[in-house]
């Protein structure tokens, strides 16, 4: 019996499996996240469904580690449109409303969204924690809608996500706290 590397485990989890006579692809958000972070081309190597899951994981991790606005600036700003498209496909209106209200707030304060979120954050009282809290509170519903959407397109969300995600989020929070010290 050999020990599987994370890459082998990723591809093992992506195989189609028979279920009730239907072949379904199992998608593991944590494995997809790791794949994007470890590949030289990053998220460019992900297909459409994987990119949706990666963008959702990325914003959730940014909220836990660096705060709400961190996702919209720097190296993840390019994922904003992919995140929106993915949430639209999943009919996650709650998360979309949070992002839309945030965008409206930035624009109403005289800044361009998402290009000037960093400037907006520095120069205004942006209630960053409130936006992040709202998005975090919508997490359960968001992942239920993602799972439902994936079932509609012949895929299945890894059942381990509900167990692993809180551990990942807790680790990210603890790491962020250590880095602030």
**Cβ(156)–Cβ(26) below 8 Å:** yes
The CA-based angle 63-135-131, given to 5 degrees, is 75
The phi-psi region of residue 139 (left if phi > 0; otherwise alpha if psi is between -120 and 50; otherwise beta) is alpha
Q: Where are the domains of the chain?
A: 8-172
Q: In this predicted structure, what is the pLDDT of residue 161?
A: 47
28-33 mean pLDDT: 94
Q: In this predicted structure, what is the pLDDT of residue 76?
A: 86
Q: Does the structure show a pLDDT above 70 at 20?
A: no
Tokens at residue 154, please?
């012949």
Choice among 7-11, 31-35, 141-145 with the minimum mean pLDDT: 7-11
pLDDT digits (tens, 9 = 90+) for 100-129: 999 999 999 999 999 999 999 888 876 778
CA-nearest of 146, 128, 156 to 88 is 146
Q: In this predicted structure, what is the pLDDT of residue 143?
A: 96
Phi first, then psi, for residue 13 (nearest 5°) are -75, -20
Band (75; pLDDT cuts 50, 70, 90): confident
**Cβ(79)–Cβ(58) below 8 Å:** yes
| Helix, coil or strand: residue 142 | helix
**pLDDT, the chain, mean:** 83
Return the half-sphere exposure (C-beta side, CA atoms, 13 A cut-off) of residue 181: 6
């Amino acid at each position: 019996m050999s020990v599987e590397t994370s890459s082998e485990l990723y591809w093992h989890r992506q195989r189609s499996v028979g279920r009730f006579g239907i072949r379904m692809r199992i998608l593991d958000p944590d494995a997809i996240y790791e794949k994007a972070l470890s590949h030289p081309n990053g998220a460019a190597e992900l297909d459409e469904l994987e990119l949706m899951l990666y963008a959702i994981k990325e914003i959730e991790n940014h909220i836990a580690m660096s705060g709400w606005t961190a996702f919209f600036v720097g190296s993840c700003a390019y994922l904003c449109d992919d995140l929106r498209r993915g949430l639209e496909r999943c009919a996650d209106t709650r998360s979309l409303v949070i992002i839309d209200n945030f965008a409206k707030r930035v624009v109403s304060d005289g800044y361009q969204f998402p290009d000037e979120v960093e400037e907006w954050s520095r120069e205004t009282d942006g209630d960053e924690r409130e936006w992040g809290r709202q998005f975090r509170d919508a997490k359960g519903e968001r992942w239920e809608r993602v799972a439902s959407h994936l079932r509609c397109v012949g895929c299945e969300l890894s059942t381990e996500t509900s167990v692993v995600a809180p551990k990942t989020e807790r680790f990210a929070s603890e790491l962020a706290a250590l880095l602030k010290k």
